[in-house]
Structure 1
């Protein structure tokens, strides 16, 4: 999908008078937590309250910090100070200002806010600093979390004919969900994720019997370009993604990292925006940054071969030119493409960048028409020296190729030669009759699919699988959840 819902804007105001803080930590243990957060309600009145947080960094020095926590009773932050405050759903984020970003080992920083409440004003109990759990986590912030004892290692997937197999040679299918947020929150200046991505939130996905999570990324945020707030880009963004990958694999699920939004100004047919920056879906990735993005991502995860790399979300060079042959040539080889005003990175360029970095990870490549058209995919398949490339495809009930007749005609020939992964399936009806048909076709052909999307958006305005991050399904999500529970993967 191409458009997330609008986000809530918050503002910063003046200073808070000093107030006593009540620590949430219990009896001290021999090993100090990586960070300590003290939260207090310093004043409360009918419908409103004033709060404060004090963050102590017990780990390595930080050049920037971002604290996140969740409200349990629908409270809303309305203004704040000494941090950039934002809120998405129940999740609140406080990121450093330019003047208080440096946080030395053992140092503390305080910030305050004003909020609204109704019915109850329960104090948050779980906090994360730069993606690391505070008050109870005993690891250094630079270290990955220990695997969850209830999970298992994610399999390393390889292409074998038209199937995916694991290290033992057993056939595997990718069956799971998308977790949107990291493609748009950072470039819009609100944070990194939309909603919680802590262990409980990832466990809820695993509880649906999903075995994979597709994670959309933003090219500019990963690279930390100048238009991205430092607290949400570069090293901070990369570290947050690595932590999420760790949590996904700890529950035995395959993480799929894909480049969703990219740089490059396009104002032609079906343009999502006129912005040169990575704020919407572009017809193709840009040659200026995309190879560097994939070289960096591949270098980061080449020692993690269980991570799957999805090259580009939904190409549509066919909308920029009336010639299908020109569109497919642009898709594969990039360069100067008709109707696109910037230099394009083709699929071959990105495969080459991944392999040159030394990564042998499974690669996915989607076709034309927002990844809904694979008719010439086999004829334009990029060369992969690792032989580990599969086809990606997206379908919604409003797409052109959305019937079994089309799937038999266009998809079946591809699925007979290479593995086929439906990276996004969904419908805008807030029901699941359409994806039921999609899942049946893919089950019958032994191929893979992932539902869009594991976010608590209004499913009447777009495909949203859940109404709560505890895994409560929408009437659309019920179809995927119940079907996954009937399969073994």
Structure 2
């Protein structure tokens, strides 16, 4: 994601002396030729910086004899640290940073360059390093023999754990090559190299490339994948690898289009699955190790839910493993990723996959789960509109179980999809904006703590693929910051002020997340502690006088935004809003209902629905609080609330239903809905 760009700087360091590699012995770098005069040029560029973190690119140009295996070291002037690195392996710690080549980029011909990048942490100052050492030789502007003999050799990923760690952070190129009906059928443009370059420039190190193959696959017995489909996928993979992005390639919606019929059509499904993976593996067998394969997406099996599905999942994963490994070449030790049933993190889903991977005795195999949050919170149903203790415990429990089953046993984990269910850049929020940000921040923190690699699901709702700009720059900045550090927040990101009422003090609770609170700002002006706000422990009180000043003429909606700043991370935004109680009007519809609504600056928190006898009404019959977007759909700019057909179809004919809309400002408004055949009427209370 795009960090706040504080400055851009480029530092070129003079010609330096380096070592030439003469031979490799027992996997280590051999003796260095004393006659090989070497020199190089180093370009160091900070491409993005935010409080507590930064991104940098380093380019090494070889000006002397060819180099086969390199190590570039430097000392940090201000205590900075590398937090993650791509296209090189970070092998030092403390005040010294060191980047070692991988096998694929170990050789630098005369006049050629090698590049790598990293994210780092800083505090106080972020001064550029000024002395780099290539293979032990100080960058002193001369050429000649090395000052010390290098040790070690060309580094490659020695295990799945190392490779998966280098993939963090990752992003899905969703709803494109996996779309049914063609690459653009679900509203996204064709994938371009510029799109992948944008993700790389924003700090991503890998992409998950979801591909649905079925529509491009011929009939039995050969199940031939159309050459144009295979070559289009290869083109995207090539672009990604050329731009230093690892790629995880899979079978995607095939999982529910035909793979789920494995229990009912076993032999045909297995034949097709093995034929597909044979063709894919053979097409990419000579590709570098930066390409990995994932068995399939969210495996599920018709009529074999829960424990009954695990044996089918294991059978698919085993067949995938055997087919890919059997094609040889680069596939003999390519990273392979196996999903749990439904990519679920329940203990009973984790254990069978752990046992299988341990049985394979192959250190280039990893596991994957997906996580979209505690489901009632993620879709706003059943009375979970905020990111509270139950939602937090669900995340912590899922990740702890996954760590204990996989990571603790040497099996790396990729959270192959994560976000909020039904999040989009159009339409109303499904989950309140600030509560969603809290979940995103905690999700990334927990993933870092458990050493998971994460791949956010982006189907065009985060990065605008037309303009290659973030649709929500603040959200993108929060996500990018969370790769390396925590950000603070408060108990809510809104303060509602009654338009006509007297304004009083407003109290919030600080969520410091281990950081120091540094104060409140309005734009570039700090608010005065003691006058504008007070702090007692974690209780933050914004004074009535400050709120009155910030609210101005108190027009409906957001009047001002205050930033709560902490010692690291991205500031937390608190919106000051003015509101009155919303007013709903009578309406009539067919199959659904559109209610004219004066929101008057307020927003719906949740919807409750009951019959006259007090029983629950609506699709979620197990709870009175119905699901956002399924049972209620507000249009704040258009002044309407839609009661969709999904809710209307679920209520009993002729029986009045009392809907209660609970608003964040504190008001609740009742509304009566009655269905008679295909006619729906709504009456304001």
TM-score, length basis structure 1 = 0.52
CA contact (8 A) 1:425 1:451 kept: yes
For structure 1, the 5+ residue unaligned runs are 1-148, 277-281, 334-345, 458-463
1:407 aligns with 2:407: no
Give the structure, 1 or 2, with the largest relative contact order (CA under 8 Å, sep 6 or more). 1
**What are the residue-to-residue correspondences of 1:169-184 with 2, within 5 Å?**
172-184=166-178
1:329 aligns with 2:311: yes
Specify whether residues 328 and 382 from structure 1 end up closer, same or farther in structure 2 by C-alpha distance, changes over 3 A only.
farther
**Alignment RMSD (CA, Å):** 4.1
Report the Cα offset of residue 404 of structure 1. 0.5
SS in 2 for 1:260: coil
The 2-side partners of 1:152 and 1:375 are apart by: 35
The 2-side partners of 1:156 and 1:402 are apart by: 37
Q: Counterpart in 2 of 1:235?
A: 227
Q: Counterpart in 2 of 1:479?
A: 478
Report the Cα offset of residue 385 of structure 1. 6.7
Report the Cα offset of residue 329 of structure 1. 1.4
Q: Counterpart in 1 of 2:415?
A: 422
What whole-Å deviation, never above 9, does each CA across 1:102-148 have from its counterpart, x for those lacking one? xxxxxxxxxxxxxxxxxxxxxxxxxxxxxxxxxxxxxxxxxxxxxxx
CA contact (8 A) 1:432 1:478 kept: no
Report the Cα offset of residue 159 of structure 1. 2.5
Structure with bigger gyration radius: 2
The 1-side partners of 2:284 and 2:360 are apart by: 18
**What are the residue-to-residue correspondences of 1:115-154 with 2, within 5 Å?**
none
| Number of residues of Structure 1 aligned to a counterpart in Structure 2 | 297
CA contact (8 A) 1:204 1:470 kept: yes
1:209 aligns with 2:185: no
Report the Cα offset of residue 213 of structure 1. 0.6
The 1-side partners of 2:309 and 2:358 are apart by: 15
Of 215, 230, 243, which aligns to 1:251? 243
The 2-side partners of 1:159 and 1:473 are apart by: 37
Q: Counterpart in 2 of 1:98?
A: none
SS in 2 for 1:316: coil
The 1-side partners of 2:400 and 2:464 are apart by: 31
For structure 2, the 5+ residue unaligned runs are 1-112, 119-154, 377-392, 422-430, 487-685
What whole-Å deviation, never above 9, does each CA across 1:242-278 have from its counterpart, x for those lacking one? 11111111221101101102277679xxx9xxxx8xx
The 1-side partners of 2:334 and 2:355 are apart by: 23
1:452 aligns with 2:457: yes
**What are the residue-to-residue correspondences of 1:56-455 with 2, within 5 Å?**
157-159=157-159, 163-165=161-163, 172-185=166-179, 187=181, 194-221=188-215, 223=217, 234-262=226-254, 286-304=269-287, 305-317=289-301, 320-321=303-304, 324=307, 326-333=308-315, 346-358=316-328, 359=331, 360-373=333-346, 374-376=349-351, 377-381=353-357, 383-384=359-360, 386-399=362-375, 402-417=394-409, 418-428=411-421, 429=431, 431-453=436-458, 455=459
The 1-side partners of 2:340 and 2:454 are apart by: 16
The 1-side partners of 2:117 and 2:448 are apart by: 24
The 2-side partners of 1:303 and 1:210 are apart by: 24
Report the Cα offset of residue 426 of structure 1. 0.7
The 1-side partners of 2:167 and 2:355 are apart by: 24
Specify whether residues 157 and 254 from structure 1 end up closer, same or farther in structure 2 by C-alpha distance, changes over 3 A only.
farther
The 2-side partners of 1:193 and 1:290 are apart by: 28
Report the Cα offset of residue 410 of structure 1. 4.2
The 2-side partners of 1:445 and 1:189 are apart by: 35
CA contact (8 A) 1:208 1:485 kept: no
Report the Cα offset of residue 327 of structure 1. 2.0
What whole-Å deviation, never above 9, does each CA across 1:45-67 have from its counterpart, x for those lacking one? xxxxxxxxxxxxxxxxxxxxxxx
Report the Cα offset of residue 407 of structure 1. 2.2
Q: Counterpart in 2 of 1:132?
A: none
SS in 2 for 1:381: helix
TM-score, length basis structure 2 = 0.38
SS in 2 for 1:197: coil
CA contact (8 A) 2:255 2:297 kept: no
Report the Cα offset of residue 397 of structure 1. 1.7
The 2-side partners of 1:195 and 1:378 are apart by: 38
